[in-house]
Amino acid sequence: MKELNALDLPTDIGYTDDHEWAKIIGETVRIGVSDYAQDQLGDIVFVEMPAIGDRFTRGDEFGTLESVKAVSELFMPMSGTVVAINSALTDAPELINQDPYGAWIIEIKPSDPGEFAQLHTAAAYLELLKG
């Protein structure tokens, strides 16, 4: 397990209490799990993702990550419609362990872009982790 001060927490993304992240990419938002989440889960062996076109409200479960330790639900950091899934994760779920911010899980067209402002900044997320 990493020490909290060794975690990679980019400052250009928003974080949830449940350890998902969201990053604005033009008109869409990419969503994945934080460095903390992948570190706690251990080796990720399977990613369950929704279908393109599925719609979710902030806080809805949109998939799961299965690791050698546990199965963890994924929750939407923002409301929106799925416009892309990272199909590379189907054959190589371990990409999340290698690069949790490069290995995004889904991309959405947000229904309320203002929800991004309700996510934690990197500094606030680190404080949350310190608990």
Place of tokens 């902030």: 58
Q: Residues of the chain whose pLDDT is less than 50? A: none
Q: How many angstroms separate the CA atoms of 3 and 69, rounded?
A: 19
pTM of the complete model = 0.97
| Chain mean position to CA 57 | 15
Cα-Cα-Cα-Cα torsion 128, 11, 93, 65, nearest 10 degrees, comes to 30
CATH number of 13-130: 2.40.50.100
pLDDT in tens, 35-73: 999 999 999 999 999 999 999 999 999 999 999 999 999
Q: Where are the domains of the chain?
A: 13-130
pLDDT of 113 reads 96
Percentages of the chain per state (helix, strand, coil), in multiples of 5 = 25, 35, 40
- Angstrom distance (rounded) from CA 96 to CA 74: 13
- According to the model, what pLDDT value does residue 97 have? 98
